[in-house]
Amino acid sequence: MQLLPLHEVASQIKPGLPLAWGIRDGNGKLLLARGHRVADVAMLNTLLARGMFVDAAEMRTAMSGHSATKPREGFFGRWRLSSARLNTLLTTTPSELRTALAEMVDVLIALADRYPDKVLFQILRHDQTKLNSYGVSHSLHSAAVCCLSARRMGWDDARRRTLVAAAMSMNVSMIELQGRLAVQAAPPNPDQRAAIDDHPLRSAEMLRAAGVDCPQWLAAVEQHHELADGGGYPRRLTDVGELAQALHYADVFTAKLSARSSRAPLMPNVAARQMFTDSAGHPLAAALIKEFGMYPPGCFVRLASGEIAIVIHRGETVATPVVACLTNAAGQALMRPQRRETTDKANAIVALVADADVMVRVPWETLYPDD
């Protein structure tokens, strides 16, 4: 039995609601069974103070939706659990890393196949203030984009799984460094630069040590910063595998969408334009850009009515997504987000709106009441 600290999943425990998994002591002894209700915040704080744990396998079952008692938070709760689980794997690199990552791939593919729009929404609307955890969130976002892009390209299940696994693990050797770099305003110092330059090879070595023996997986990790013109690193290869190229584009694109202390995230249309230009329209990059589309879920838009809205679902055409209005035409916040079909000319999108220009924020779960 593998135990995870309770504090890593505490956000999924709601006082008064049934537990989605049991709570255990440090020896794995069950203290509170699944379905038991944590009475109040004081009880939850007591459990956290005592250093309780959860069974990782039971948690994964609940996240996958195979449990009779599913987490009440739907997609967003399961996504947060996936992030917490990946954080544990990448920062502790346990001996069972290969098996654990394979299980994580199963969970992510299930979420991406069932909730593709919500996955894109989560990538754009993740908490940009948690810079210290950038390395984990970036790995998860890259893996999700690889998952969706590979499906769009018609790759078979085995190939898609290999690509997603490589995305999750490509930076295992520098996860903590990524967080430090996201926080610091200064450029990398010489030691940090050296760690960046050789992290593809070091990550592959760590994976081999953990039992990963898939040559395609390892090659994708080793080559994900190589470029076909020989201008990449660490080996300046010109013969770069297709999985590595797909991983590279997902890596670069999701990085553009994330903030650093030194810069704000790019708007998705700007990131897409840069990627298309830099890749010279490469088919793998084009598939990624098409997956996000003109108005991806999570972006803010202004409607012909003057209302400010957020995209929540892709529509029948790239220009007609489903949106939820956050303000009225006068810029006043609505009591509740109101859905609009942008196929109606009165609700047509007239412009993208930068994050900094939207003051209204709501719990994102409220935008998807049918979840």
Q: If you write DSSP's letter for every residue of 94-156 in order, what string do you get? A: -TTHHHHHHHHHHHHHHHHHH-HHHHHHHHHHS-TT-GGGHHHHHHHHHHHHHHHHHHHTT--
pTM for the model stands at: 0.80
| pLDDT at residue number 365 | 84
Average pLDDT over residues 265-282: 95
pLDDT digits (tens, 9 = 90+) for 106-143: 999 999 999 999 999 999 999 888 888 999 999 999 99
Residues 97 and 211 sit within 8 Å (Cβ to Cβ):
yes
Q: What is the pLDDT of residues 252-265, one digit of tens each?
A: 999 999 999 888 99
* Chain mean position to CA 9: 16
* Domains of the chain, CATH where assigned: 1-72 (3.90.105), 73-292 (1.10.3210.10), 300-367 (no CATH)
Reference 163, options 61, 274, 284; nearest CA is 284
pLDDT mean across residues, the chain: 90
